[in-house]
Each structure stands twice: as C-alpha cells, then as structure tokens.
Amino acid sequence: MNTKSAPTADNKEEGIVVTFEDVAEFLQRHAKKILTLSVVGLFIGIALTYVLPRQWEATGVLQIGQVANEGATAPAPPTLVEPTARALERLRIPQFSDAVLKRLGLAVGTEEGADATLLRASLRSTMLAGSDLIQFSVRGFSPDRARRTAQAISDELTRIHGGLMRPSVDRLNADLQEVTQGVAREDKRREMLNGLVRNREHVNVAGKFSENVLLSEMVNENEKALRFLRLRKNTLHELLSQERTYNTHLLGPVEVSRRHVFPRKSLFGAAGLAIGLLVSVLLGIAIDAKRRLG
C-alpha cells in the first residue's frame, strides 16, 4: 500500500497519511486475494454449522409462591415465599445448578459431561419488567433435553420454596384444625342446650324463671361462639385456597424453540466472511511491506 509522509502541524514529527487513492490501489492489487479468502471464510463458517452439535433453547416463566396473611380488620397483603430478587440470584448460584443436574441424573464435578457443561453455560434468568415474574432460559442438545432441563429447574425451585413455606402453611392448617374442633364442641353444646330448652316445661314454676334466664344466656353465648368460629373457619379456608396460598410454579408450559438456536448459518457465515476479509487485508499489507523492504 502506497503511503505518503507529511509533516505535522508543528513540523517536528512525521506521520503517515493514507489517501483514498492508496486504498483503491491496494484493493485493486489484492482484489483476487480478498475475494478468494473472504469466500473461503464464508464457506468455512457455513460448513462449521454442519459439524458443531446443534442446540435448542427452552424458556419458562416462574411465578414466585406466596402465603396469605390474616389482617385484623381487612385482608393483609400476602407474603412471597422468597423475595423475587433473591430467587433470581438463587437460580444463578452453582449449588442450584448442581441440584438440577442431580435431579436430571447427570454427573456433577470432574466427571461432568457435555449436557452438564451446556446447562451451566446457557442458564439465563431475568425479572420481567413491571412484575414479580422470573423468566429463564436454558439450552439442550435436542428439543426434549432442553424441555426436560427447563422443567427440572422449575421443579427444583418449587421444592426449595415448598420447604420455605411449609412452616407458615402448617401454622394455618393447625389453626384450621383447632377451629374445626371448636365448631364441633360448640355444635354438641348447642344440641345439649336445645335439649334443655325442650325440657323446660317439666321444671316447676318457682325455678322456671331463673333457669330460663340462665339458659337463655347460655344459648346466646353458644350462638356467638358458633358464629365467630364459623367465620374464622371460612377465613382460614380462604387463606389456604389455591388462589391465596400457593407454591412457586410455571406460568404455562415450557416453550422450546422450533429451530436450533446454535449454530446459525447467518452468524457463522458472517463471522467467516469477516475473518476471511481481515486475513486477506493483513496478508496484502504484509506483501506490500515485504515488497517495499525488498
């Protein structure tokens, strides 16, 4: 490539100025090399797509589980099993990947195979904007492998969150059992009081008034207790319903890409073309430099 030396603004240092004519002459001299190596790079890049193992990508959206809370006067906001940001970080730690690999029956550690390596390298997770949902993606060497890996990721997080929410759910179930037993006791007491009311006619007149007052008070207390317990029972049933208290789960089925996402002919072809072009230009510069020195 022809170059011209020109003084700098202060006339103390010299630089190299490459003109448009120099570039045009360089391309003209090495056009065959540039074209040939670029085409070769393009074909090599495309050829690699037939050699490298193909990868499919599976994507899922997770909704973090929650436990309903009971407010004093109004329904309280539910509590997430785990803050979304922390659940997001959990998906990214190596220990979580280890647990998923064990769930899939794959070796962990120095004996890890290609499937395990691909899982660790391709697992990505992010929080969807404006929501508490987590979107994750992972790759596999077949559509079925990618789907099973994504499902295993969901199942493992569900298992962990199930353990985190168990104490709260057990407490609600214990309260429900206690209230249910209270309702049964008050029902039996009401039957007993109803029996006493039916037998009032057999009591003598002198003791009838005082017993009637006491019995009436006992009936009223029983009715109040039953109303409270039944209301409490309904509230607990609502808190434990699947709409209010639930574990972490997938929103819909796992989606798998219809076509493989790696390797792509367009990307590999473009990369091969760029590398071939770069190599041809560097080769041309080296030839010109050697010619000048010779």
Q: Residue 139: pLDDT above 80?
A: yes
Domain boundaries, the chain: 1-52+263-294, 53-262
What digits encode the pLDDT tens for the residues 228-272? Answer: 999 989 989 999 999 999 999 999 999 999 999 998 888 888 998
Residue 185 CB partners (closer than 8 Å, separation 6+): none
- Rounded Cα–Cα distance for residues 146 and 93 (Å): 20
Element (H, E) at 71: none
Instruction: Give 24's pLDDT tier (boundaries 50, 70, 90).
Output: confident
At residue 81, the 3 state secondary structure works out as coil
183-238 pLDDT, tens digit each: 999 888 888 877 777 776 555 544 566 666 777 788 888 889 899 999 989 989 99
pLDDT at 11: 46
Report H helices in the chain.
20-29, 31-51, 84-92, 94-103, 114-122, 143-198, 205-239, 265-293
- Residue with more model confidence, 204 or 119: 119
The reported pTM is 0.77
* Residue 127, token pair as written in the block: 């929080």
Please calculate the CA angle 219-221-226 and round it to the nearest 5 degrees.
95
